Structure 1
Amino acid sequence: MEGTAPAQPYENHLPPPGYDPTSVDRWAGEPDKRPGRTAFQRDRARVLHSAALRRLAGKTQVVTLGTLPQVLDSARTGKTPIEAWDASPRTRLTHSLECAQVGRELGAALGCDPDLVEAACLSHDLGHPPFGHNGEQALNEFAHDCGGFEGNAQSLRLLTRIEPKRFQRSEETGDLVSVGLNLTRAALDAATKYPWPRGAHPTDPTSPKFGVYDDDRPVFDWIRKGAPDHRTCFEAQVMDWSDDVAYSVHDVEDGLHAGHIDPGCLYAEPERQSVFAVAIGRYVPADTDPAELAEALDRLLDQEWWPHGYDGSAVAQARLKDATSQLIGRFCLAAEGATRAAYGTGRLTRYAAELVVPGNARLECAVLKAVADRYVMQRAEQERLRADQRIMVAELAEALTARAPEGLDPQFRALFDEAPDDRARKRVLVDQIASLTDTSARSLHARLTI
């Protein structure tokens, strides 16, 4: 239930320019500790200082850091095992920070509140479990009879329920109930990529993507009050494109730096066709003409700053970093220019506009995603590692089911004991596993199964 208004008004309870008063409402009303900060600055600070964000440092982005397959692969890359261990691929945390930097600048250029967009970008991956999308798949199978699992729905659950920051008393029982970080309505809406429950995708009912579990519907309905059905707000669209830009560009950068991607292979026709096959249906619609993807790839290869002949030298690393910067600027400027052409120069916020991303920019971004997918994610040793990780998550879920509340953190042990039925208890187990880092998941699995 929506909380009462704070005891006294402070300056930062006023909405920033371009936002109405409902955008800075919080589910549970609270006074301000420091007058003068905007509501969205407080939102950003709460996410930045959250334990959930820190845990992303131990969660896989694309390639697991410091694993045996990386060391074994050193024979192919020409690196020593120590160098393979020091490759330092991005984690979910570094990706989120980079996404936030991209989103903050793009949002500000379009008239959004930059702190609001940055808070959304920092929040967008908080609900992802250990082992990336691989762990997400395994948890979804385990949770099939209690509402499934989706990283974005889990992010909303974490922001509004799990992360301990604010509590309010239940009107029904009088007990203290967590309201998570108690972010503003606009911040929670901006972090919502898929504003619908499971099975309610507006164009594809079979899509696995959704943004809210059934038992989180009350706060979701409060967030979405007055919003058009199934439509993401403008800030969420900026966050979503910033996410695409950041991970498409940086995954290729990581792949080149680690020696998994040979830039010369992108000129060989069989290799190009294999990249396009990965892209079609996964990163672009199934009816996309491969010739369009070929043109997109050639546009990138024709750029003077493209990292041709990357060899890992200091000069090559500097050129690669410049190429990364050029690509991010290229994609952001394309979206900014097209959106301004459609809506003019005014402040664009909430539901006053749609982010316009030109088709050529989307195709170029999709090609980069497919390159990283083909040469980094689809390596044989990564496939074997992912298979082992899925088995580990499944075994961990089975062990927790059999032995809970043993193995649960104190926070989740209390929730497990208070759960009214088996479905609710299983959701607590899912919440516990999703909160683990890669390392803590391995450790807990070893403790409960060996």
Structure 2
Amino acid sequence: MDGIAPKAHETPTRCENGSAYDASDTERWAAEPDKRPGRTAFQRDRARVLHSAALRRLAGKTQVVTPGTRSEAWDASPRTRLTHSLECAQVGRELGAALGCDPDLVEAACLSHDLGHPPFGHNGEQALNAFAHDCGGFEGNAQSLRLLARIEPKRFVPNVCTGELVSVGLNLTRAVLDAATKYPWPRGAHPTDPASAKFGVYEDDRPVFDWFRKGAPGHRTCFEAQVMDWSDDVAYSVHDFEDGLHAGYVDPGSLHAEPERQAVFAVAAGRYVPADTDPDELAEALDRLLAQQWWPREYDGSAIAQGRLKDATSQLIGRFCLAAEGATRAAYGSGRLTRYAAELVVPRSTRMECAVLKAVADLYVMQRAEQERIRADQRVVVAELAEALTARAPDGLDPQFRALFEEAADDRARKRVIVDQIASLTDASAGHLHARLTGRA
């Protein structure tokens, strides 16, 4: 965003019991008039994300089970990135409001958190990262910021050097951009693990990142981002488990059998909790869930079973959110908690329960043999599509990315445009473009 100067602010948002956010929180990178007096800055931000094309495209992007694939046991559509984002937003809005956050701010962050995910979910993310290794890599969270602040067409401002109009994306407020940032550091700057693949900003987007992070304490995430992050964990752990049970991939009875339990704990310790976590702690977490009266002990797909399963998902979400709310209130009292005034406190026992649910879905849904075959094909599609676009661009690029490709200053910048184009595709559109450019289905 070189050549674009940040400026001006908007009227501070006010909540029912007083102002919790100041003029700095509601600043936008580029000044804008308030078109509808009485509507807060964060309400405007929520509406912008909700109406964005990037959010709509999540309907065609993989969550766990690839959209358009189904087993004989599956009698309902699996969740997509869009339905997950909507569910995450509902969880985050209520939890944030209970803790004193502006609910529209938290909801906007939750709706935004997965916008940058490419086709085929984390599988596509890995393939794109390999392709983009020499132009800054690829990370879905960094791509989300890039969409919000640069790619999604909403606001354009003159470049101070050339006078040409340049996109500033949705031009969201400082507080919402900060709340949507899970990993507030560039590639290779993870505060505790420099080898981590997780980061939240590309070098190209450092100006807007440095602007909205001005005054933030180091690599610390703001309170609203922590609420968003936990809401994400809650939503996908519970709903992936629900989907797996509904599809017939998860047998509730197997969670009492020792070999299956040990397999679940091994997955959890490798991905969702520190590797040295005592399996007995995970066993205790699973047993606490199994002991609940509402826990689904069997599932036959009947209307009564569906109702009981839906009640179990509601109970789980309430359990995880109330645990975080109670522990945070115990630490900070009853006041309004916003920005950098507090840290979200999630009891370790609750995190273990959430991790066990993630591991169950991972083991029985994501690690099924047919899913690995699908993922292998998807990696080929992304890799070959990247090669084909590199060889033929600007042919194959959408008009928006064609223009950016032709304006790019060097090969590195042109490669980033190709990455942006592929990341914007749905699963189906990636397959169609791959077939058109390579001649292979």
Whether these two folds match at TM > 0.5 is yes
Asked if residue 301 in structure 1 is aligned to residue 299 in structure 2, the reply is no
Out of 318, 336, 352, the position equivalent to 2:341 is 352
Q: Are positions 1:181 and 2:170 aligned together?
A: yes
Report the alpha carbon displacement of residue 243 of structure 1 after superposing the two structures with TM. Answer: 0.1
Q: 1 CA distance for matches of 2:255 and 2:344? A: 31
Which residue in the other structure is 2:42 paired with?
40
Match of 2:8 in 1: 5
| Corresponding position: 1:197 with 2:199 | no
CA distance in 2, matches of 1:218, 1:3: 9
* 1:156 to 2:159 alignment: no
Q: Determine helix, strand or coil for the equivalent of 1:248.
A: helix
* Distance in 2 (alpha carbons) for counterparts of 1:236 and 1:65: 28
Which AA in structure 2 matches 1:142? F
Matched position secondary structure for 2:171? coil
Report the Cα distance in structure 1 between the residues aligned to 2:270 and 2:196, rounded to whole angstroms.
13
Equivalent position of 1:408 in the other structure: 397
1:286: Cα distance to partner?
1.0
1:105-134 C-alpha deviation (Å, 9 max, x unpaired): 000000000000000000000000000000
Tell me the distance in 2 between the aligned counterparts of 1:385 and 1:28: 43
SS at match of 1:431: helix
Instruction: Give 2:361's match in structure 1, choosing from 354, 359, 372.
Output: 372
- 1:9 corresponds to which residue? none
Aligned to 1:55: 57
Give the one of 303, 316, 323 matched to 1:334. 323
* Alpha-carbon separation, structure 1, partners of 2:190 and 2:236: 24
Match of 1:449 in 2: 438
Distance 2:298 2:362 in 1: 20
Q: Which residue of 2 aligns with 1:101?
A: 90
Partner of 1:14: 12
Deviations 1:316-366 (A, max 9, x none): 110000000000000000000000000000000000000000001000000
Tell me how far 1:15 sits from its aligned partner.
3.3
Which residues of 2 match residues 314-329 of structure 1 at below 5 A? 314-329=303-318
Task: Please give the alpha-carbon distance, in whole angstroms, between the structure 2 residues aligned to 1:176 and 1:104.
Answer: 35
Render the CA deviation track for 1:205-239: whole Å, top value 9, x for unaligned: 00000000001000000010000110000000000
Q: 2:418 — aligned with what?
A: 429
Q: CA deviation at 1:37?
A: 0.3
CA distance in 1, matches of 2:270, 2:324: 23
Deviation at 1:87, TM superposition (A): 2.8
SS at match of 2:271: coil
In the alignment, structure 2 segments of 5+ residues that lack a partner are none
Structure 1 Cα separation of the partners of residues 117 and 406 of structure 2: 25
Question: Could you say what secondary structure the match of 1:367 adopts?
Answer: helix
Q: Which residue, out of 268, 277, 285, partners 1:279?
A: 268
Q: Runs in 1 of length 4+ with deviation above 2 angstroms?
A: 1-6
Q: Write the distance in 1 (CA, Å) between the matches of 2:324 and 2:365.
A: 28
SS at match of 2:299: coil
Q: What is the alpha-carbon distance in structure 2 between the residues aligned to residue 301 and residue 66 of structure 1?
A: 32
Task: Give the partner amino acid of 1:338.
Answer: A
Letter in 2 for 1:130: P
Aligned to 1:128: 117
Q: Give the whole-Å Cα distance in 2 for the aligned partners of 1:57 and 1:95.
A: 9
Superposed CA RMSD in Å reads 0.9
Aligned equivalents of 2:160 and 2:314: distance in 1? 52
Q: CA deviation at 1:32?
A: 1.1
2:129, 2:369 → 1: CA distance?
Answer: 24
TM-score by length of 2: 0.97
TM-fit CA distance, 1:200: 0.2
- Aligned residue among 374, 391, 402 for 2:380: 391
SS at match of 2:371: helix
Cα deviation, 1:82-103, whole Å, max 9, x if unaligned, reads xx4x431100000000000000
Of all paired residues, the percent bearing the same amino acid is 84
Secondary structure at the counterpart of residue 236 of structure 1: helix
Q: Are 2:243 and 1:264 aligned? A: no
Does the CA-based 8 Å contact 2:12-2:21 persist in structure 1? no
Aligned pair count reads 432
- Indicate if the aligned counterparts of 2:88 and 2:235 stay in contact, CA closer than 8 A: yes
- Amino acid across the alignment from 1:415: L
Q: Distance in 2 between matches of 1:270 and 1:394?
A: 38
AA of the residue aligned to 2:353: E
1:2 and 1:113 mapped to 2: Cα distance? 28
* Amino acid paired to 2:434: H
Specify the code of the residue in structure 1 equivalent to 2:407. E
- Measured in 2, the distance between the counterparts of 1:303 and 1:2 equals 56
The Cα of 1:312 is off from its aligned counterpart by 1.1
Partner of 2:154: 165
Whole-angstrom distance in 1 between the partners of 2:68 and 2:108: 30
| 232, 242, 256: which one aligns with 2:231 | 242
User: Any idea what SS the aligned residue of 2:270 has?
Assistant: coil
Indicate the residue corresponding to 1:221 in structure 2: 210
* Whole-angstrom distance in 2 between the partners of 1:224 and 1:3: 13
1:25 equivalent in alignment to 2:23: no
